[in-house]
Amino acid sequence: MTIRIIIADDHPVVRSGLRALLTSQPDFEIVAEAANGEEASTLSVSQNPDVILMDLQMPVVDGLTAIRRILALQPEVNILVLTTYDSDADIMPAIEAGATGYLLKDAPSESLFRAVRSAAQGEVVLAPSVADKITRRLARSAMDSLSLREIEVLDLAAKGNSNREIADKLHITEATAKSHFVHIFTKLGVSDRTAAVTAALKRKIIRLNH
| Same-domain check for residues 75 and 121 | yes
| pLDDT for 209 | 67
Q: Are residues 115 and 162 in the same domain?
A: no
Q: How far is CA 82 from CA 18, 63, 91, 133, 164, in A?
A: 11, 10, 11, 16, 51
Residue 175 has a pLDDT of 86
What's the rounded Cα separation, in Å, for the pair 9 and 5?
A: 13
Q: Does a structural domain hold residue 196?
A: yes
pLDDT for the residue 102: 95
**Count of beta carbons in the 10 Å neighbourhood of residue 187:** 17
The answer to whether residue 38 sits within a structural domain is yes
Q: Are residues 48 and 89 in the same domain?
A: yes
Q: pLDDT truncated to tens, each residue of the chain (210 aa)?
A: 899 999 999 999 999 999 999 999 999 999 999 999 999 999 999 999 999 999 999 999 999 999 999 999 999 999 999 999 888 789 989 988 989 999 999 999 999 999 999 999 988 899 988 888 877 777 777 777 899 999 999 999 999 999 999 999 999 998 899 989 988 988 888 888 999 999 899 888 898 865
Total domains in the chain come to 2
pLDDT of the residue at 192: 87
Q: CA dist 106 to 9, 20, 111, 120, Å?
A: 15, 16, 10, 21
Q: Look at residue 136 in the predicted model and tell me its pLDDT.
A: 75
Q: What is the pLDDT of residue 131?
A: 84
* The predicted structure's pLDDT at residue 99: 93
Boundary-marking domain end, from 64, 99, 127: 127
Residue finishing a domain among 64, 94, 127: 127
Domain of residue 54, CATH code? 3.40.50.2300
Domain that holds residue 99: 3-127
- Judgement on whether residues 89 and 189 belong to the same structural domain of the protein: no
